[in-house]
Amino acid sequence: MFRWVVAAFLTLYTMINVVDRVAISVGTEPITRELGLNPAQWGLVLGVFFVGLVPATIATGYLADRHGARRWQLIGATSWSLLTAATTLVNSFGALLVVRFLFGVGEGPGGSVGGRVIANWIPARQRGRTFSMIMVGIQLAPALGVPLIAWIMVELGWRPAFLILGGVGLLWVLAWRVIFTDDPARNRFVGERELAVIQRGITTPEHLRAVPETGLRPDRMRTLAGCFWGMFCTGYLLYFLLTWLPGYFSMARGLDLKQMGVAASLPWLGGVLGVLLGGLLTDRILARTGRFRWARAYPASAALLVSAIGLYICASAVSLPAAIALLALVSFCLGWIGPVLSSVVLDVTWRRAGLFSGVSQALEATAGVVAPVLTGVIVNRSGSFDLAFTIAALVAASGAVAVFGLVRHAGDASTAPERQKESR
């Protein structure tokens, strides 16, 4: 079915997106050495990307709702690919800040516009597994990309690595331009049977009432509040690891670039498993029980709590294998949370999926500003990552409490007693 081809391309989009983001972190040692940057300055370099990402994410989500997702995804992917390649030209701290800020703007459409694509193409009861399929790219990208980028940097230098990555992104742009349309009914690859499944799954009366024109009901606002804080906390943990994990293994563990590439990739394999299980099981629980909290809220809350425990223990882990194992557990939990909470946003706000997906992605990106900058300041002043891990554990614990207490109501057909049967 062609909707799964669309989901596969979104997965590839996500993988390229994340590899381009994490490449700067892989290059921590050679770039900081060449440009003469301290940990606090490097934290700003890692964080300024998200300053550009936040407003662009909300704006493009709104525009995708009004004018369609295809245009904005093509603009975004083209922009970030060119800016990735342009990283090869920087020769100062200021120039690197500018390029990273603009790179963040270019990556803005990634999550929010993707939410609009899923809302248009994927029936409600298949969204959890679809988000799981797409979000596996977030975990698989560093697992595969970090050692590959590290090898390229060792063999060719850090500048050619960015040039190669920019070219890969432009290839995706060409393919997406050929295969994708905003409306499944206008896509030549979609048959009548599949079109009926898609339209039946996304245009039920329950969906159309999910977000009345007058706005969201208070119970749904409460659910969104808990979901949004949970996503902020998830974003803090995710970007803490994505931006500083290579630096942690290099600075705190004394690994060289090739060793770091292997060590920093291993924890993300746990995330791949978490993503796959999280999306599949949340849809299955919902289909069998119709109980929204059991399917969405409780699993996400438990995963945040386990993440908090793992990060707190990791702050005092003395062996490298123990640290990698604990970080793999945290990554597994982050992978589990992603498709669950993303499904909640679409469950509650189908009519404005692009806008609210943009808001949720912007909150995660805001955490992406705080996590790398704060970590850089801590490491620069203390010379240690212990306090940074402890703060991340506290953030995760607060997210567990918010999701458990506030996420209660789906607001759409996913809580209805009837069970639609969409073919795969």
Domain boundaries, the chain: 2-411
Query: How far is Cα of residue 278 from the mean position of the Cα atoms in its chain?
Result: 14
Residue 166: CB atoms within 10 A of its CB come to 19
pLDDT higher at 407 or 92:
92
- Predicted confidence band of residue 352 (pLDDT cuts 50, 70, 90): low
Q: What is the predicted pLDDT for the residue at 409?
A: 59
Q: Is the pLDDT of residue 417 over 50?
A: no
The rounded distance, in Å, linking the Cα atoms of 372 and 242 is 9
- Predicted confidence band of residue 107 (pLDDT cuts 50, 70, 90): confident
Residues, the chain, total? 424
- Predicted confidence band of residue 179 (pLDDT cuts 50, 70, 90): very high
Instruction: Over range 326-334, report the average pLDDT.
Output: 94
The answer to whether the CB of 150 falls within 8 A of the CB of 28 is: no
The DSSP output letter for 266 is T
Tell which residue, 261, 220, 238, has the closest CA to residue 352.
Answer: 220
Torsion angle of C-alpha atoms 290, 223, 241, 51, degrees rounded to 10: 140
Q: Is the pLDDT of residue 285 over 90?
A: no
- Predicted confidence band of residue 267 (pLDDT cuts 50, 70, 90): very high
Q: Is the pLDDT of residue 159 over 90?
A: yes
Q: Is the pLDDT of residue 135 over 70?
A: yes
Q: What is the predicted pLDDT for the residue at 353?
A: 60
- Predicted confidence band of residue 171 (pLDDT cuts 50, 70, 90): very high
Instruction: Describe the chain by its helix, strand, coil percentages, rounded to 5.
Output: 85, 0, 15
**2-411, CATH topology level:** Growth Hormone; Chain: A; (1.20.1250)
Q: Which of 51-60, 168-177, 230-239 has the lowest mean pLDDT?
A: 51-60
The answer to whether the CB of 142 falls within 8 A of the CB of 18 is: yes
Instruction: Over range 57-82, report the average pLDDT.
Output: 86
